[in-house]
Structure 1
């Protein structure tokens, strides 16, 4: 039986360990500026004075939609959960979170090599393969004929999600959780599992947000290493 002193030490060690793990959850957005990110917007190559595609407004990270491009983390990550809170504040549209991003502009001289987790209104949770690939159950049903599959231009790169009924009404905040563990990528939208892939051809890389024609607000981008999670 523990003495009171040993019990106190034991509880203290648990608290310290819990606090240490909790501190390893990383906020990718500080609410003030775009520290830790860089933009890759092809349209600015020739017109550097073009308006910014990404900005901070009222404590939120905003993708303005145009000029089109990507906001990319400076750091690379593997084996994590990424919790995102986002909304289309105006009209519904298109955007996405790219995981395992690496080589820039490999597709259409715009998109970095990556796996896109779609945020497009009413399609949240689709996978789009961008020179990286992934497998899901019921592959032909969700991707089309096998002979058309691929991860490059002209191929069937879209893998439909499991349900389109997970999103909240326009203007309300959605939560998206993306779990990347080894070669697996799982996605939840508002607590509903919407995609579950394996055999991904990449297991680490940068994280990117798109500017793809629609204004989208982000108020949370929280990354937690898998090894520090209790479940």
Structure 2
């Protein structure tokens, strides 16, 4: 009996001294002594081991640097502790790659952000050297205070199947559903610096461990979900109350805005995409606007849209009191090539604007070019507050019916309409503006 006790104590001591042991299913990726199992890619920032920690140091005039695992991982739970005492950008790559055929070996793939700036997007998900921001933390503002400057911060990344989730110091931050890269390496980034005065800044990492077997997803968190798989309703979205308005195959749930069934011309469903078609100026080919067969009061609408060059369309809501297509509009337009984008007041005819009322405040880098998919979002709250979002950024906000809203209406093309856009409930409308625009992943969550 005494011998068994001694052996048990010895085993516990071994686990504490040699953290690479897997008694609890965790494997430590850093042995605390050297960089065995890691390799440096791309830039020439300095990586070294000091006092049992990996220390990354910025170096001027070199691109983003990555200390990558030699092994690749598919499904896993990763935990990392990191420390910053000076402001600098960094990140944790996961399911990432570096191949000669892609941009001469540039590291690309998912990144869990380290952002101590006032923007505060730490633990958001970025797609390095590929699609850009997938989950800006504006989507989950409650998580913006999770990062602690000058203290050790614990990151947790959970990748199981197509579900990518992050936590920071126990706070849930991001949830992305995506299937672009199912496997890849893990890497610690030291971001390139533009100003030589920032040379020598450091980030430290420790307790880097991973679990790859017998994985159980963490309990669901009630945070916004970015789902990048077309026309897919994830379990997390369904549990939050979302449903698909377009099934990817049929026009079920949609009809002509002027009555009757779904248009027989002017619209097309192909390869999981609902498209309004360019009629080339021949109005006999025009299908007209379409609306949902169901009406909604307060709601949250998510949708993907893809413009052809020079195209114009829109999504309308709060319609019906002054005609079947008169209401609020999320403007969908090619800002660079369609002339109407330059009309209106202060750019309130531009992409994602509340058409003819409020211009969208957007950064060009968060707008996808024609031919690429954008992610739109409209929220109409029960208290009449409204928001437009574009690719994870809020670009418009207003309150329907307040004095500011009414003043804008009075100066707009809608001034002649009584109680404009104040209907209690209405369908959602997709506009036929004679140009080709594609839609998919249209989902709605009633908020009443």
TM-score (norm 1): 0.70
1:197/1:106 CA distance change after superposition, 3 Å: farther
Structure 2 match to 1:201: 180
2:147 aligned residue (142, 163, 167): 167
- CA radius of gyration, larger in: 2
> Which of the pair has the greater relative contact order for Cα pairs under 8 Å at 6+ separation?
1
Aligned residues, how many? 181
2:418 is matched with which residue? none
Name the SS for the 2:121 alignment partner.
Answer: coil
Question: Structure 1 residues 42, 105: CA separation in 2 closer, same or farther (over 3 Å shift)?
Answer: farther
Higher mean displacement: 184-193 or 116-125: 116-125
Q: Distance in 2 between matches of 1:98 and 1:230?
A: 20
The correspondence for 2:123, drawn from 105, 119, 125, is 125
**For 1:107 and 1:95, how far apart are their aligned partners in 2?**
22
Match of 2:110 in 1: 115
Q: Distance in 2 between matches of 1:117 and 1:230?
A: 18
Q: CA deviation at 1:174?
A: 0.5
1:52-110 deviation line (CA, Å, top 9, x unaligned): 6211011101111225411010000111110010010x312110001111125888768
Q: Which residue of 1 aligns with 2:307?
A: none
Q: Distance in 1 between matches of 2:163 and 2:100?
A: 24
- Any idea what SS the aligned residue of 2:23 has? helix
In the superposition, relative to structure 1, how do residues 123 and 108 fare at CA in structure 2: closer, same or farther (>3 Å)? farther
Structure 2 equivalent of residue 47 of structure 1: none
**1:47-58 aligned within 5 A:** 53-58=46-51
5 Å matches for 1:129-140? 129-130=127-128
How much has 1:200 moved relative to structure 2?
Answer: 3.4
5+ residue gaps in structure 2?
1-14, 16-20, 194-200, 219-448
User: Over aligned residue pairs, what C-alpha RMSD do you find?
Assistant: 2.7
5+ residue gaps, structure 1, are: 1-18, 44-51, 133-150
The alpha-carbon distance between structure 1 residues 107 and 157, as it changes in their structure 2 partners (threshold 3 A), is farther
Distance in structure 2 (CA, Å) of the matches to 1:112 and 1:184: 21
Using the size of structure 2 for normalisation, the TM-score is 0.37
Q: What is the CA distance between 1:230 and its match in structure 2?
A: 9.0
- 2:91 and 2:114 in contact (8 A); partners too: yes
1:215 — aligned with what?
A: 202
| Match of residue 25 from structure 1 | 26
Distance 1:95 1:110, change over 3 A: farther
Whole-angstrom CA distance in 1 between matches of 2:158 and 2:165 = 5
